[in-house]
Homo-oligomer: A and B are copies of this chain.
Amino acid sequence: MYQLTARDIRRRNRFCVLQAVYAASGHTSRQQIAQATGLSFATVGNMIAELLEVGVLAELGYEAAGIGRPRAQLAINPERGRLIGVDIAETCIHVDVFDLAMTVLRSTEIPVDPAATTPDDIVESIVHGIGEVVAGDADRVLGVGLSVPGLVEPDTGTSVFSPYWHWQQVPLKVLLAPQLPYPLYLDNPLKASTAAQLWFGAGRDVDDLIVVTLRAGVGIGVVIDGLLYRGVTNSAGEWGHTNLVLDGRACPCGRNGCVEAYVSAPGITATLREIAPGSPLLASDDAATLAAVAAAACRGDSTAVAVIERTGTYLGVAIANLVNLFNPRRIVFGDLVARQLGVPLLEATRRAAAHHAMSDPFAAVTLELDPLPHNPASLGAATFALEGFLADRETFTSVSARRTRRTDAPA
């Protein structure tokens, strides 16, 4: 059984308090944080003191409360440092620089040349992309998070298997470290998108949710009791390769009938080809095809409507399975497919899921589109860097040691 130490609990409480500050999006008070988190006022006071001392939070002055002492207004100190998020995707590498309030300061996209996808090629592009946007902030970077497709081992920073480029056991962190003198955090887009939702999106007011990522590949991130669930070897959430249709369509993974073969961007293109071979909606790539389907469905084009309806049926069955297994409070749909097909796909999915899911867990869950305006994989990658900074033993242990010596009471 997993043993919780005092440090685990302290770190968890620190995350919890800071998540409440981000959720307040602006400023908040100790009282409001205590209310939002359910933590005692004393614990909140201790955590806030620590976060003020390391400069993560700032006091903005006082607001007169109706009765009693005026309340100190707290906010994230955006200037405390910079975080970098990198989303490594099939066709391009997206890099963002964030301030500590998680506002995007600068971004760039480096296209991936399909003929140059060795680990060295990709490392060169990542380093180049970061160099382009980090500008005068190079010495203020607290950490770099990277979202890497496929199976990733976060502890060692290894890309165990990447389906796009047939990578196997690539020690990406080792390759990057000499050129990027920052703490580096690696995981895949499913885990990254889920971290982004947990801190800044659909997970801010819900502790049990599933984040569905629908892009060239598909998969889920599962949040249980406010924590990202990883499984015993960090591969939980491989919903994209659960079986949807026995002996169904070929999937790039080599199996047949996987969920991914039906509800990913290429899967939806395949459905369009089945419904209307040679359709004028078929464009040069899957993203353009999705955009054409979305636009045509708006005009009431029957082929486009049928594609969305059939995709919603597939997605609804696969989502009903998740509802029955996990009994979550919320399921949020994000990334390319959700952005393009949006509400019509969500409606079709909801109808099919309502039929296939058990009524009790279905009544307990809401299905929603991703509320985040930003690329969730790069924001989530930067969130790993934020979590890493907040969990840093040296920074926080020395503060709490000093504080314990000074006083145990909250301010």
Query: A: which residues have CB within 8 A of B?
Result: 1-4, 9, 12, 15-16, 19, 37-39, 151, 160-161, 207-208, 220, 222, 224-227, 229-239, 241-246, 253, 255, 317, 320-322, 324-329, 355-356, 358, 360-361, 364
Contacts and interface: CB of A to CB of B under 8 A. Distances in A.
Contacts of A364: 232-233, 235
Contact of A232 (B208, B255, B324): B208
A250 to B, nearest CB: 14
B16 A355 contact: no
Contact of A224 (B15, B229, B237): B229
Given A16-B1, A37-B3, A320-B243, A232 B161 contact: no
This chain's copy number in the assembly: 2
Given A232-B329, A235-B358, A325-B325, 19 more contacts: A1-B207, A3-B16, A3-B39, A4-B4, A161-B360, A208-B231, A220-B325, A224-B229, A231-B328, A232-B328, A233-B360, A235-B364, A236-B361, A238-B324, A241-B358, A243-B321, A246-B317, A255-B355, A255-B356
10 contacts: A1-B226, A3-B37, A9-B9, A160-B360, A208-B231, A231-B361, A235-B324, A235-B364, A242-B321, A255-B355
A37 B2 CA distance: 9
A132 B400 CA distance: 61
A160 B358 CA distance: 13
